[in-house]
Chain A
Amino acid sequence: MTTLDSIVRSYLISQGRNTLHGYLKIMKHAIDCLRNISLGYSVMNKTVKCRLDYKKSVALPDDCLVPIAAAWKNGDRMESYDIDSSIAVHHSHVEDGISGTLNGMFQPVIYQNYVTANRCYSIPCYNLGHNGSGYFTFNRKSRELQFSSDVDSSVDIYVYYRSSGFNPKSKSAIPELFALMVEAYIHWQLGRSKHGDASAETEARRMNFDREQAKTLQHLMPITASGIANAKARAFDFNKLAF
Chain B
Amino acid sequence: MVTLKKLSDQVLRLLSAGLKTKDSKLTIEAIQTEIRQVTHKLIKGEWFAMKNDGEHVVNTLYVATYRDVAVQLDSDRNRCYALLPCYPIALPNHLGIQEVKPQTEDTHEYVAMIPINPMELELFRSLNVGQEILSDSWCFEPARDRVWFTERDDETLLDAGFEEVEMKLVVIDPAQVSATDPYPIDPALEIDLIKEVLMLHGYSAKEAADLVNDSVPTK
Contact = CB atoms under 8 A, between A and B. Distances in A.
Interface of A: 5, 15-24, 27-28, 31-32, 35, 62, 167-171
Given A17-B57, A20-B115, A171-B136, A28 B130 contact: no
Nearest to B93: A21
Contact of B135 (A18, A31, A32, A169): A169
Chain B interface size band reads 20 to 34
B129 interface: yes
A32 B127 CA distance: 11
A15 B115 CA distance: 17
A19 B99 contact: yes
Given A16-B54, A16-B57, A31 B129 contact: yes
Contacts of B94: 21
Contact of B124 (A17, A21, A28, A32): A28
Contacts of A18: 56-57
Interface of B: 54-57, 93-95, 98-99, 112-117, 120-121, 124, 127-137
A170 B129 contact: no
Nearest to B121: A24
B57 A24 contact: no
B129 A23 contact: no
Contact of B133 (A16, A20, A31, A32): A31
Nearest to A63: B130
B135 to A, nearest CB: 7
B130 A22 contact: no
Given A19-B112, A21-B93, 18 more contacts: A5-B137, A15-B56, A16-B55, A19-B95, A20-B113, A20-B114, A23-B115, A24-B116, A24-B120, A24-B124, A27-B133, A28-B127, A31-B129, A32-B129, A168-B129, A169-B130, A169-B132, A169-B136
A167 B134 CA distance: 12
Given A16-B55, A17-B57, A19-B98, A170 B115 contact: no
Nearest to B124: A24
